[in-house]
Every structure is written in structure tokens, then in C-alpha cells.
Chains A and B, each alone.
Chain A
Amino acid sequence: MKTASQLSIRAALPLMIGAALSVNAQPEVDTSQWDCKFCEFEEGFSGDAEIGAGYVWEDDFKFGEYTGLVDEGGYAIFNARATYSGEDADYLDLTATELGLDARSLTIEGGRQGSYRLNLRYDELPHNVSDTVRTPFTGMGSEDLTLPPGWVDAGTTAAMTSLDNSLRDAELETHRERLAVGAAFVPADNWEFGVKVRRDTKEGTQSTSGAFFLNAAQLIQPIDYVTDEVEAFVAYAQREWQVRVKYYVSSFENDNDALRWDNPFTPFTAGADSGELALPPDNEFHQVGLAVGYQFSSATNAGAELAVGRMRQNEDFLAATTNPNLTTALPRDSLDGEVDTVNAVLKLTSRLSEQLRLNAAYRYDDRDNQTPQDTYSWVSTDTFSAATARENQPYSFTRQTLDVSADYRVDPRTKLSVGLDHENVERTLQEADETRENALWTKLSARAGKHTQASVRFAHAERDVSSYEPVPETQPAQNPLLRKFYLADRSRDEAEFRVNTTPGESLSLGFTVGVADDDYSESTVGLTDSRLLNVGADATTMLSVDTSVHAFLDHQTIKSAQAGSNAFSVADWRATQTDTINTLGIGVQHRVSEQLDVGADLAASESSGKINVNNSQFPDLEADLYSLKVHATYRLQSGISVRAAYWHESYDSQDWSLDGVEPDTIRNVLTLGDESPSYDVDVLLLSLRYKF
């Protein structure tokens, strides 16, 4: 195969493909001597199990953000994979991953191939956010945060004389547990039924904040969420057409309705001693989906999908205020919120000749907010009654896109594509009723030689806005010169170049450079420019039969410029943000002998964020990550191996929004005093693996 000329294989291709495609037609072939005696069909159990221990030197939340390895000390390693294959296509697959960590996963799937499938998946996902926060409130994790006995109110944080003695360490962390069970059946040829049920439980804490007029406090919010999902489908598929009907329901329940907290500041008004935040309300979403695919011929295909859904939310309202001196009647007891969604797509592709193919896609996304509008007299931050009642604004929008493109094969190695993408978005209750965007793009893809592929793509898009009028319901009013960036006129240019080459069986190289440039030419206040540059390279090589090396490099620059107006008039200040991220990775795998494999992976990511406001430069936001993993596997005897690994990771970050900000640093904000994370962590792992 390797020595075959392109010419000879191309000559032979049509008949081979024709034969392969005729599988279902069952060509008449004499298979009487097809004994398959060299076929190593697997029946019975096989798999492997790994058991061992690891040790982490250093406590650090950020290091264990998603793995759960937050504490110094030992932990167990247990991974397993087992497969059973039966004579009648019965099968059972089990995969257990990192059972010794807080981030553990178990998957079991079994059934009879071609008849039915049952599966279960259990996952735990920790998210350790911070263990460097401090708060004077007690009752963390509950709906009520109270100040300790003897708390001394004050007008500023610095004057809170009992603050220092009241601060206690706290942790911000959540833990998810997900259990999903599913089943799929093939009751008859071409039919398939499936159902999946998933419960996602998320518990823990996260930060939030609450204000009293000009003062605020960062708070710890309880998380106790349960989301149940059910998805069921029935599908019929044959060669020319396929259809699927699906039903999806999601039900979200929050065990906490509100977060109440004592006002740590001297109240501005009598009775503003405590506040109450509404926590996310229970909600439901139901959606019915229909998907149809039709193959007019081998050259022309059509596909359509329709999803019709309804979101509902009717949680009882909290009182407008907890301030006993302020009373406000509500127009209703709950929102009776309802949003209807319609999502549809219709796609058509047709190869008109060996050279020309046309593609068209139409998409329709509608969010129709049916929530009743009422006028609400409201209380500002439990401190005073607002002078003007406000009407809720149930936003709706309809987005339609039409993409048409043509692919022209200049020759078997070269394809030229051109396309026109049109998007139209209509919105209610916002500054712009309608935005329209047209994008014209072209892409040239070419193969050079047998093993090199390259493409270059250019696109230009113009977004126009019907008219932009400040919304009267927004109080106080927006600067009339502001153009919200997603509702603004915009000119976008994009370019991308890619090349991938595999000059030999043992070497693969890839290079990508892309740039996207947005110009909001009509925006004198708001976002005016943004630019994204990405350069990436990727290489994989086999230095020898026993040694492989993989490396990647990536550079990103994300820039934006905006203007503001202190004077609520023409722009009188400007700001820029520039994020720069450089990432490098190198991995080596080497087989030292039949018994010993060794490897190493190095990754480094350095990022910085530069912010300039009116020619005043902020200190750089910095985050540098360096990670080195070295591992070795030694095979003791058939089926048994020992794995040892060492992992060193260091992380250093600087963030001016956190660093040096103690709970009493800001006079009118009692903060959690969090710090930007840094760590230097070593991990050693030793395990025994048995393959059966």
C-alpha cells in the first residue's frame, strides 16, 4: 500500500468504493472458505486494574481546583477497566477512573450489541475555588448570615472595631455528583429507542455580595442545587432517510430561596439592619425535537431539525424588603414566567458535478418571552423606597441566519470555497430593534504532494443596526452616544492560514495563524475596537521505533479598546485591555527495553493582562503555570507492571483586584480578603497494574 502510486490507486478507487458502498446490497461472494482462522475474536473477560498510592506535598486549593488534591498527604489510586464479550454479542464494559480522588468517575455499559444497551455513569466533580477568604459572618452555608455577638456597626470598614477579632477563615468550594442511567433498544431493523435520566447535585458555597445603598459586603452563598434531566427519543433510519423525535425535560430545584445577612455598616435609614438576596429560583424546561435527514442521491442531502421548548419559573416572590419600616405591595405573588423557544435549521448540500458543490443552511432561533409585565414599586437595597415604580422587561428576540456557499474543486488537490452568511436579529425592549450582518468569505484549500495540506481563509462582515434609541425604561438613562457592542454597527475582518504536513510516516507538523479584527466605527462611547491574534504550532515525531516526541506552541493576543464619558457627553476617556498568553508543551515517550517505558511531559503557560485607562497603566495581571510530569512503567511479568510518576507544578499569579485587598481595605465594601493564588506542589505516585 505504501508503495502504490497515486495514479494506480486513483484508477482503482471508484470500483473499490462502489464495492464497499454496496455492503447493504450484499454482493454475491463465495464465502465458503472464509474460515477466519487468524481472527482473534475476543470472548470472556479482559481488562486491567491499577492500584496504588500518591502523596501530595503542600496544601493548595488552586492546585486541586478540579482534582480535589487540595491537602498535603496521601491518597489512593484506583483505576480499572474491564470488558466482557459474549458469544451472542453480549457485552459489558466497566471503567472506573480515579476512585481515590474527589474527582472520580464510574461508567458501566452492557447489553447485547445490535439489540439493546443499558448504561450507568457516575461522576463527582469538585470545584475548589478558594480557601483564603475571611468573613465575620457566621452561618456559612446556610440562608442566614449573622454577625457575631458584640459586633460594632460603623460607617466604614476601618471603623469596625470588632472586625479583626471576628474574622474567620472560610472556603469557597462546590461539589457535584452526577448519576445518569440510560437505555437504548433496537426493537426492529432501522428502529431505535433511547432514554437517559440524569440527576446532577451541586452543593457547597460560592461568593456573592449584597449592598445597602452606598455600602456593600461580600458574602458566602449556599449552593444546594438539584437538576434532573430526562431525554427520550425514537428514531427510524434507513439509507435514504432518517427521522428522530426527541423529548427533553430539565427541572432545576434550589433548596435555598434567599440569603439574608446582617448589615455590618451603620444603617443609612432606620430598619435597614438586614438584607435579603433572592437565590436562583426553581425552573423547568420542556422541549420536543424533530430531526429529519433525506438523501436525494449520493450527491444531494438535506437535513432539518426543529426544537420547540418552553421555560417556566413560578417561584413565590420574596417580600420587597425585610425593612419593617418600609412596606410595599406586590402586583403578584410569583412571576408566572414563561418563555417559548423555537429553534430550527434546514440544510441542503448538493454536489452538482465532480467540481462543484453548493451548500445552504437556514437557521431560526426564537425566544418569545411570555412573562407578564407588571409595575413593581420597589425598595432600594432594603434602605429606602424608590421614587419610581418599574415595569419588568421580558426580553424576546428572533435570530435568523442564511448561509450559502459553493465549493469548487479546481483540481483533485485544490478546493476553492466562497460563501455569504447573512444574520438578522430582531429584539424587543432593547436599544436596537434589528441588526443585520452580512459576511463574505473565501477559503482556498490545497494539497501539496502526498502529505501536505494547507488552507487560507478570508472573511469580511458588516453589521448594520436599524436604529439605536436609548430605552426609556432604563433609569437613569444611558449616554445617548453609547452603542452596546452587541447592538452596534460593526465591521469585522478575519484571516486564517493553516498548514499540516506529514512528510514521513514518523513526522507530523502543523501551523496555524489567525486574526480577527472588529471595528465599531459608529461607537463613540462603548467598545470601539477589538482584535484577536492566534499563532499555533504542533509537531509529533517518531525519533526512532522506541522514541516519540510531541510539542506544541501557542501565542494569543486579545486586545480591545473602549471609550467612556465622565461628563455624560462625548467621550472623554479611553481604555485598552491587552491579554497575552504564551503556551508551550513538550512530551517525550521512550521505550528503554521490553520491560521499561519512560516519559515526560512539560507544559508552561504564561499570561499577562495589561490595562490602560486614560494613559494610566495598571499593574500587569499575571499568571504563570509550569507543570512537569515524569513517569516510568516497568513490566514485571506478563500482565503485571509497576508505574511510578513524579509531578511538579508551580503557579504564580498577581491580580490587583485581590492582592492587598484586606476585608477592611475598601472603606465601603467589606470584602472576603481573598488573595490571588500561588503554589509550588510536588506529587509522587506509585502503582501496580494488573492486566487480565
Chain B
Amino acid sequence: MHNKATLRLHSSFAGALAIILCATLFAGNSFAQDSEPGEDEAMREYSERGADTCLRCHDEDSEYPVLPIFKTKHARIADERTPFAQLQCETCHGPVGEHGKRKLKKGEERQPMLYFGINAAAAREEQNGICLDCHRNQSRIAWHGSAHELADVDCASCHKVHAAQDQVLTTTGQPEVCYPCHTKARADFYKPSVHPVRFGQLACSDCHSPHASMTDALMAAPTLNQTCYTCHAEKRGPFLWEHAPVAEDCALCHTAHGSVHPALLTRRPPLLCQQCHSQLGHPSVARSPAGLADGMPSGFLLAGSCLNCHSQVHGSNHPSGVKLMR
């Protein structure tokens, strides 16, 4: 299916690629400097006693308690990849410098440490770079350029590394981490027809891959439909008689999070169907309230509406199923 449009797209992408690469090479020296620790690092000393320096103050009564980290995978000395097998707190937070001074002079401000999160002074890329230094593994190969990365989401916005249980890693707790940014999704899950996220049966990450994906909406599989098929494999087909929009994009008729219409439909049949079907005869006829149960009850309107007869809307493998009625 290659034609001029394909060539145009390929040419456009090659052009964009060339511009970025040229600009990168042109400015490469300055980036190299950015990526290396500066000579000034020597000005800020590592602590003499490691984590003990930090834990003198950051105990369970501290404004910034950190002790629950010892319940987490980051605090496993036998795993040499972990921070506590390396430079302990200073692995991620950098050298303590004067921050660990016991006493401050009157009016003196405590030297800041590198910290993480939405209000952190460090830029997102820099914060995330520290995490990715160890976690740039197979599940984050495509982090750069992903929707969350482009939106400046920092790792600490979703992950709480000092908590005994990182909420975003639990099925029931995860949505609460996502909702503050995805407010509409929370409301969607209270609608009459939903996927059961509100009930703790599904987590956002059952359908979405927050670190990287091949789709804009960070779907877990390479396409939306392939993601849906992981639970609804019966709709994969291929069928003898296909319904064209079904094979292309489930979202043409369904909304993923919640709907006021049955089966998560975007709109109510028969109007939903009539947005694409206008054949002479019953598909074209306006179905008015006259066809309700207390009028002249219409099979084109009530119960399953169009699906009363055309029940095989996802495709039929019946030799006589061309009208999706078998």
C-alpha cells in the first residue's frame, strides 16, 4: 500500500531526522560537557559516615522521613545494583556537602540537597536522568519521546521510593496516582458502563504502558485494538464478514473508560449506527419517541435496537453472515 503519500511521509521524517542530527552534531561538544560531572564536584564533599549522616535527622519524626526505604528493593545491599550497595543516600542525592552540618550559624540557611518531585529545583530531565541511570532497562527503552516524557513528567511524580509500598505499583492504589493529572478518567469510572478500575479489578497499567509505548495514548500493546484483544480475543478474527471500523479502531464505537450508554458505546443506537448506515429503507428512517414502549413499540429503537437483528457487529464467520445477522 505504498504510494506518494508514503513517500511524502518518509521524506518528511528523513528531513526532520537530518535536521535534528545535524544540529546535534553541531552542538555536540556542549552536550558532552553537560553529561560529564563538572570539576566543581570536588567542591562538594561526600559525607564521612554515609547514610548515618542523613539518618541522624531524617528519622521517623522528621519532616522528610525516609526510613521506610529500608523495606524496599532499593535497600538490598546484596544486590550490588542498588543505591545502598553503593553510596547509600548519596547515590541518588549526590554528595552531602555542607548540608550535613550539625549546627548552623544564626541566620544561615542549610545547604540544599538534590531532591525529587514536582516542586524540586532540578529540571525534570535531570531528575529522571538519575533514575534512568540504573533503570534504563528493557521496559524503558522508548521512554524518551513518549507522552509522559514529552509532558515533563518526573519519576517522583508517580513513584514514592521512600514509601514501604509504592502506591503506583498496586492494582487498587495505582489509579489514585494517575487521577490528579487524568481527572476525567476518574469521573469516567463512575459512569454506568465502565471497565472495572473503580472496583480494583483493573489497574491503569493493564491497558497502558506509562514508561513507553508505540501509541500516543501509551497503550500496552502496539495498537489500541491489539491492547483490547488481550482481554477480548474473541473479537480479533479475522472474520469472513468484517465490519470495517471494528477491524480498524475499537474507539470508533466504544469509549475505553466509561459511558452513559451500554457496552461503553460512545453514543446510543440506533443513532450511533445511523452515523454510517444510510441505505434506503429501515437504516435511513428517523426513529422518534413515537416508537417507545408506550407508543408504537419499535424493534428498531428498543431493547437491542439495530442489534436486535444485526447482533454480529464485531464480525461474522457464518457463510450467510454478510448482513452480520448470522
Contact = CB atoms under 8 A, between A and B. Distances in A.
Nearest to A407: B150
A346 to B, nearest CB: 7
Contacts of B241: 392-393
A24 B142 contact: no
Contact of A276 (B201, B212, B326): B326
- For B299, B312, B317, which residue has the most chain A Cβ atoms within 10 angstroms? B317
Contact of A426 (B3, B110, B126, B325): B3
B76 A347 contact: no
Interface stretch (A144-152, A610-618, A635-643): A610-618
A17 to B, nearest CB: 5
Interface string A646-662: 00000001001111110
B323 interface: yes
A211 B308 contact: yes
B49 A20 contact: no
B319 A299 contact: no
A283 B234 CA distance: 8
B238 A311 contact: yes
A293 B94 contact: no
Interface stretch (A70-78, A263-271, A394-402, A681-689): A394-402
Given A13-B126, A19-B37, A581-B187, A254 B234 contact: yes
A278 B317 contact: yes
Contacts of B126: 13, 17
A185 to B, nearest CB: 13
A362 interface: yes
Contacts of A317: 240, 317-319
A363 interface: yes
Contact of A41 (B41, B70, B271): B70
Interface in A343-368: 343-353, 358-363, 365-368
Contacts of B276: 482, 484-485, 526
Interface residues of A, number: 246
Contacts of B38: 14-15, 18
A519 to B, nearest CB: 15
Interface in B104-118: 109-115, 118
Given A89-B79, A609-B261, A666 B1 contact: no
B319 A378 contact: yes
Contacts of B8: 424
A363 B67 CA distance: 45
A262 to B, nearest CB: 16
A225 interface: yes
Interface in B89-137: 90-95, 97, 99, 109-115, 118-119, 121-123, 125-126, 129-130, 133-134, 136-137
30 contacts: A9-B112, A27-B46, A39-B75, A113-B78, A114-B76, A114-B78, A192-B138, A209-B309, A225-B233, A277-B326, A278-B318, A297-B31, A299-B24, A303-B212, A305-B222, A337-B237, A344-B214, A349-B144, A365-B223, A380-B320, A380-B323, A426-B3, A426-B5, A477-B280, A479-B280, A566-B284, A568-B280, A614-B288, A658-B303, A666-B302
For the complex of A and B, list the 6 residue pairs with the smallest distance between their C-beta atoms, beginning with the closest: A34-B50, A18-B37, A16-B94, A235-B138, A536-B183, A298-B35
